[in-house]
C-alpha cells in the first residue's frame, strides 16, 4: 500500500501539477499586484475616481451594490488584459519562432470530389457516398 502511494506521488504528472499550482498562485499574486498597484491608479489618474464601491441602488429596502460589481468587472478586464499581453502574446511568439522552418505534417485525409467529405488518404471509395476516389 505504501509502495503504491510512493509511486503515485513520484509520478511526473503529480509533481508537475504541484509545481503548476504553486507557480499559478505566485503568478496570481504578481498579476493582482500589477492591477491593484499600477493599473488601477493609472485609471484613477485618468478618470479621477479609482473606487466605484459607493455606487448603489435601493429598491424597496433592498440595496443593489452596483459599484462592487463594476469594481469586480474592471478588475477582471485589467487582469485578463495584463495576462494576455504579458504572458500569452510572448509565449505564442516564442512558440511560433521555434516552429519556424518545420515542415507541416503530411495530410491524413483528402476530400471526396462528390460529397466533399473528409476520407482517409489511402481510401479507394468514399465512406459516405461510395463514389470511387482517384
Q: What is the pLDDT along the chain (134 residues), one digit of tens a residue?
A: 788 877 776 776 777 787 788 888 888 788 778 777 777 777 777 777 666 777 788 999 999 988 888 878 877 887 788 778 888 899 889 988 888 888 888 889 999 988 989 999 898 999 889 889 87
Q: Furthest-apart CA pair in the chain: how many Å?
A: 76
Domains of the chain, by residue range, sit at 2-102, 105-134
Assigned architecture for domain 2-102? Orthogonal Bundle (1.10)
As a whole number of angstroms, the distance between CA 106 and CA 122 comes to 13
- Tell me how far CA of residue 70 lies from CA of 40, 48, 60, 61, 73, in angstroms: 13, 15, 22, 21, 5
Amino acid at each position: 500500500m505504501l509502495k503504491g502511494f510512493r509511486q503515485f506521488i513520484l509520478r511526473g504528472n503529480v509533481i508537475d501539477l504541484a509545481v503548476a499550482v504553486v507557480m499559478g498562485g505566485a503568478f496570481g499574486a504578481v498579476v493582482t499586484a500589477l492591477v491593484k498597484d499600477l493599473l488601477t491608479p493609472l485609471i484613477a489618474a485618468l478618470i479621477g475616481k479609482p473606487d466605484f464601491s459607493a455606487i448603489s441602488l435601493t429598491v424597496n429596502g433592498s440595496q443593489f451594490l452596483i459599484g462592487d460589481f463594476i469594481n469586480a468587472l474592471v478588475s477582471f478586464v485589467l487582469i485578463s488584459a495584463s495576462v494576455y499581453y504579458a504572458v500569452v502574446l510572448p509565449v505564442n511568439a516564442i512558440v511560433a519562432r521555434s516552429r519556424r522552418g518545420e515542415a507541416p505534417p503530411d495530410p491524413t485525409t483528402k476530400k471526396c470530389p462528390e460529397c466533399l467529405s473528409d476520407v482517409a488518404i489511402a481510401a479507394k471509395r468514399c465512406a459516405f457516398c461510395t463514389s470511387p476516389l482517384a
